[in-house]
Structure 1
Amino acid sequence: MNPGNIPQKSAARRGGRHWVVTAIGMPILTLSGWYAYRLGVRLEQCLAEHGPDSADRIDGVAGPCHPIMMSSGALSLAYLAAFAVTLIVGLVLGVIDGRRRRRFAYGRWVCVVVVGLTGPWALLAYALAYGLGRLLPAYRPTARRPQDAAGQQGWIEAIHLYQQLAAGEPPPVVYSPDFIGSGVVYLDAPFTYSRYYGTTVTYEQSSTFAYGRPAFVVGAVVGDLIGNSVARSRAASFAQPQWRDFAYARVILTPTTTWCCLGGLWLAFDHDVVMGYSVDGMNALLTFPDVEPLRLGGPSVWCHAVMFAYARFGPDQWQMAPFLHPVREAVESLNPRNSPEGR
């Protein structure tokens, strides 16, 4: 059963927030560099007027050019350090984004323009490193096995449950006196709950009327562009299909239905209408023809997968469910005589 192209993990919000921070910081850094340059010019004028000794401190008394020299030196040193940091960060992030096959600058083109105008060295370093990263082998994260620390006990219980059912024993029955449904209960455990869907989001654009010096007007326009870009990006990322309605739920599995109790409200998901079922780590994904996909997470997810397969496909076919392959493989490694290779 294939759930389709719905992501198994939480759909992350649009990345590249650091580009927004950089687009805000780069103009400040450029202004700092310009001010350091102006202080250097003032220092040269002061030294020409008062002489070289005017920048020294003689007998505890600072010369007239000494404060300018100290301010110019400190600001120049800070500017050079920030210049080196942005250059190195651009190289590192460029290689990382290129290897991970991300969009150039996460598609934040307004931020790219601002950085290109105020810090071209950083943008050039990022672009060169990004091209190098695209030439390198793509980064592929190592898939996690279900036997992680949090789900170890649940994984072991799922293996024992699989062995019990495979041996022909009846499924265990759980006593749930406050359950609103009828019939036997196979599983009663806490899970995390979320649904996958998109929505409509509106946002307001800001427009500032600025009057004054050109630098002030340009700064106001750039501020509006960055603010509107951030608002548009946030609205677009929140509107796109993603996992929502995160909550903790009590999950009960019966022979025909998976029930989720959310704050006293019971939601029923019939097994016979499930189009796809898959397990990724400690998350189970269920897709349906007419409602939003359901994701359940927790240590008991593999027990839910085993019992869902047994309830949906019956005692003769449940072991062939493709999503049970990790459990089936683990059981066969424990009982090699029952595996195809050992027969």
Structure 2
Amino acid sequence: MTITGGVVALVLIMIAGTESGLGGFLLLLVVAVLPRAIAHARKRSGRKEGADRAAALFDDLTAGRALKPLDVDGLVMGHAENARLEFRATYSRLYGLEHDQPMGNILLLGWLGLAELIGVYFAASRARKRAEAEAGLRWRDVQVARVVLTNQRLVCRADHQWLSFYYREISALYPDMDRWEVVLEFRDARVAPLRLDGSAVRAICVYLCWALHGRRGLTSDPAFAALRSAGRRAGM
């Protein structure tokens, strides 16, 4: 039964069971469950579309078929540069923060008794641990971003600006097709690693691998084994 069919069935049951109180219970059940069910269905549909697009892109690139240039609003292209693909994905960066050690007021401490001093010590300790946890290395700046792939760079519209990552500056590419995410590291250690995830990521992985390693990368990287198998089955 589809989600729509299930909702209709529940509504009919609620109407029939209004006098017994069953309708009110089912109404609460629908309110609690339906948004989650709809979100799950949309995610599943988005991933199906993303998988199909990745497979089609894989076939085009391994067959040597050229991609048509795109017009991207608001993005200025460089010399001999043209956009090839545009998606939306969840963007994040991996870095830590500097933090100051919380210090008590030394002059004030002299006026405190033993119990108060112990309380100040534990409060400062908790504050220090919170600051260290907040400053630790983790994925930050999480947001949904426009992602444009050109013949020269990956561009993300994040934090209200275009951020460019030229292919020649990428030192490592970690595609995870099962988890629908990709992580990029850069030659300049000062540039924080970039992570993209979402239903468009498989296609992004395919294009990035091709841009960095050419057709050979797509036909040899284990991350794309499922796409290669699908292509062979389709050709039988």
The TM tier, using the shorter chain, reads 0.5 to 0.7
Match of 2:83 in 1: 185
Counterpart among 256, 261, 286 of residue 184 in structure 2: 286
Q: If each structure's strand is expressed as a fraction of its own residues, which one has the higher value?
A: 2
Q: Is the 8 A contact 1:256 1:312 kept in 2?
A: no
Q: What is the deviation of 1:223?
A: 3.1
The sequence identity of aligned pairs, in percent, is: 25
**Structure 1 moving runs of 4+ over 6 Å:** none
Superimposed CA distance per residue, residues 226-277 of structure 1 (whole angstroms, 9 cap, x where no aligned partner): 3222111112122222222233322111111011223542221110221111
Q: 1:202 to 1:301 in 2, by over 3 A?
A: same
Structure 2 length normalisation: TM-score?
A: 0.66
Q: Is the 8 A contact 1:159 1:327 kept in 2?
A: no
> Would you say how many aligned residue pairs link Structure 1 and Structure 2?
183
* Counterpart Cα distance in 1 of 2:159 and 2:140: 16
Match of 1:200 in 2: 98
**1:1-343 matches, cutoff 5 A:** 149=44, 151-182=47-78, 183-206=81-104, 210-211=112-113, 217-218=114-115, 220-280=116-176, 281-290=179-188, 291-314=191-214, 316-320=215-219, 322=221, 325-333=222-230, 335-336=232-233
Superimposed CA distance per residue, residues 263-305 of structure 1 (whole angstroms, 9 cap, x where no aligned partner): 5422211102211111231321110121221112222111111
* Counterpart Cα distance in 2 of 1:309 and 1:172: 18
* Counterpart Cα distance in 1 of 2:68 and 2:209: 14
Q: Is the 8 A contact 2:59 2:231 kept in 1?
A: no
Q: Which has the larger radius of gyration?
A: 1
Structure 1 length normalisation: TM-score?
A: 0.47
Q: 1:203 to 1:257 in 2, by over 3 A?
A: same
* Counterpart Cα distance in 2 of 1:270 and 1:331: 27
Structure with bigger RCO (C-alpha 8 Å, 6+ apart): 2
Superimposed CA distance per residue, residues 10-69 of structure 1 (whole angstroms, 9 cap, x where no aligned partner): xxxxxxxxxxxxxxxxxxxxxxxxxxxxxxxxxxxxxxxxxxxxxxxxxxxxxxxxxxxx
Q: 1:319 to 1:279 in 2, by over 3 A?
A: closer
Unaligned residue ranges in structure 1 (runs of 5+): 1-147, 212-216
